[in-house]
Amino acid sequence: MKNWTLLLSCCLLALCACQQTKQNVMCHDPHAEFAAFAKDPAFRNMHTIPTEIDYKMNGAMTRIPVTGQDSANAYVVKTKGAGNNYLLLFHEWWGLNDQIKKEADDWAKSLKINVIALDLYDGKVARTADEAGQFMGACKPDRANAIIQAAAAFAGQAANFRTMGWCFGGGWSMKAAIALKEKAKACVMYYGMPEENVETLKSLQCDVLFIHAKQDRWINDDVVNKMKANMKSAGKMVDVHPYDADHAFANPSGQHYNEAAASDARVVVLNYLKKHE
């Protein structure tokens, strides 16, 4: 009898383990899914090395304390009269390069807002697509989330936030908006991987503006349509602006830059963020 009881217990444990494994496989991780694109040669090949830009930085590289971890890097632009209003920027898969720093300066000036451009690669900036893929794959969600919370603490208890990111950073823009809860006032995603878990999306407390590149083979129409359905199920608002352009079309330092689409999208984003001042 004891042998039968032991056998039954082992079978039940094995069944539970199997079910847990299935759940883990089915669990959607937008960061991991986007990072997997780095294994696709077509995705790597479409990203050419960004051209160098020459401009005078208005902000400063800053070390931000992270509770229980090494401090983080950020490019911080403090704007006179901005008070507690902040924009958090999330870099593309290249890392926190000069292009993103220039974006921080430009948005700070256009919106008259404080800007923190976070470095999720901890000081690494890719020089090739292969390096970018390695850095993106090595980015740990726990570390990235800790950096986001550290930035919020750095800004202060009274701070409120808008989030924006491109490509790899587009997905992190949404994740940050979710993590910041009621402190998040707006979220902009440029062709980034959205969160799919409806229960997770229910905790999002702001609407989302999604800039969609219709020629994008990865963040494609299917991904965007699924996002719309999931946001609706979660009772959240998303405004999708499609452009007949390719992935990374808003980056003037890349070969897929589409000036007309990028300029129009910038006006759309500017108007959206001004409504959430």
CATH of the domain at 58: 3.40.50.1820
Q: Residue 109: enclosing H or E segment and its boundaries?
A: helix 98-111
* Residue 267 in domain: yes
Structure token digits, residue 210: 């999604």
* Residue 169: half-sphere exposure toward Cβ, Cα within 13 Å: 26
* Residue 8 in domain: no
Average pLDDT over residues 121-148: 96
Least confident of 2-16, 23-37, 39-53, 176-190: 2-16
pTM for this entry: 0.89
85-90, strands of its sheet edge to edge: 60-66, 69-77, 114-118, 85-90, 160-166, 184-190, 208-213, 238-243
Domain count, the chain: 1
Task: Say whether pLDDT at 10 is over 50.
Answer: no
Q: How confident is the model over 220-240, as pLDDT tens digits?
A: 999 999 999 999 999 999 999
* Residue 232 in domain: yes
pLDDT at 153: 98
Task: Say whether pLDDT at 209 is over 90.
Answer: yes
Task: Say whether pLDDT at 16 is over 60.
Answer: no
* Residue 213 in domain: yes
* Residue 18 in domain: no
Give the whole-angstrom CA distance, residue 254 versus residue 45.
Answer: 12
Give the whole-angstrom CA distance, residue 60 versus residue 261.
Answer: 30
Give the rounded percent of residues in the chain with a pLDDT score beyond 90: 78
Instruction: Work out whether strand 69-77 and strand 85-90 pair parallel, antiparallel, or are unpaired.
Output: unpaired
- Considering the chain, what is the average pLDDT of its residues? 90
Task: Say whether pLDDT at 277 is over 70.
Answer: yes
- At 8, the pLDDT band (50, 70, 90 cuts) reads very low
Structure token digits, residue 103: 């974006």
Give the whole-angstrom CA distance, residue 125 versus residue 131.
Answer: 8
Q: What domain range is 162 assigned to?
A: 30-275
Give the whole-angstrom CA distance, residue 237 versus residue 207.
Answer: 5
* Residue 12 in domain: no
Task: Say whether pLDDT at 102 is over 70.
Answer: yes
* Residue 270 in domain: yes
Give the whole-angstrom CA distance, residue 175 versus residue 8.
Answer: 43
**Residues 32, 73, 266, 134, Cα dihedral to 10°:** -30
* Residue 7 in domain: no
Give the whole-angstrom CA distance, residue 171 versus residue 28.
Answer: 13
Average pLDDT over residues 98-112: 97
